Structure 1
């Protein structure tokens, strides 16, 4: 997995050098963290688009929709 990011061979002043390598156990941990972060980002982006579409459609048809998980900041300030 690190070879994907580092490349197979890096050339500096026309001399090949080895790409950064990490132990396989650390590579597994980094890969797992990267997959979890990518899935979290994908779910967040999807939820953002779904909330925007649902909120827009509810507003177009005249009803109010409070977003799930939204913090009531105005209520706390009163």
Structure 2
């Protein structure tokens, strides 16, 4: 079941599986996920993984689309927010 799937993930991450499942099932968690999905659609996030940097001024910058190594990600972030 999906509950068992998420229980195993929580255990592998060292989280309390019951607390994880209880939190995941809340309206707040669902609403947060829906908000994130809507925001992703709004910026055209159509590939995985994508990494964005959101500034304090609420500007959103695309840092990486697809796999990027640390040095590449760091250089893009440094160029955006030196």
TM-score, normalised with respect to structure 1: 0.30
| Greater strand fraction, Structure 1 or Structure 2 | 2
| Greater helix fraction, Structure 1 or Structure 2 | 1
TM-score, normalised with respect to structure 2: 0.29
Considering only CA atoms, is the larger Rg found in Structure 1 or Structure 2?
Answer: 1
Higher relative contact order (CA 8 A, sep 6+): 1
